[in-house]
Amino acid sequence: MPPRRVPGEYIVQIKAMPPDQVEAFFRERLSGLGLKSIRLISAQSRFYKLTFEPDPGPDSVKRALSSSESVISVEPNLIYEKF
């Protein structure tokens, strides 16, 4: 069974970037994909939770960010369950 994910949410790790440039960076690259919010979830590791409405799908988000050398990783926000 594939892991479940939170629809419309993606976790993105980026390289060091001035905080005042982060939102513009994401909005420029994800234009047209329905980006709703950008939330910093780990300042030390530079992880951001991006929320989209509607969900463009993992492939679209990865494709839109893959051309940037500033992006380290892009993953759906997976749901982990205790057994």
Residue 48's domain is classified under what CATH number?
3.30.70.940
Q: How much is the pLDDT for 59?
A: 96
- List the structure tokens of 30: 């994800």
Residue 83 counted as domain residue: no
On the question of pLDDT at 80 being above 90, the answer is no
Q: Does residue 34 fall inside a structural domain?
A: yes
Residue 56: inside a domain, yes or no? Answer: yes
What are the tens digits of pLDDT across the range 5-63?
999 999 999 999 999 999 999 999 999 999 999 999 999 999 999 999 999 999 999 99
Q: Is the pLDDT of residue 81 over 90?
A: no
> How high is the pLDDT of residue 83?
77
What pLDDT sits at residue 3? 81
CA–CA dist 77, 13 (Å, integer) = 12
Domain boundaries, position 61: 5-78
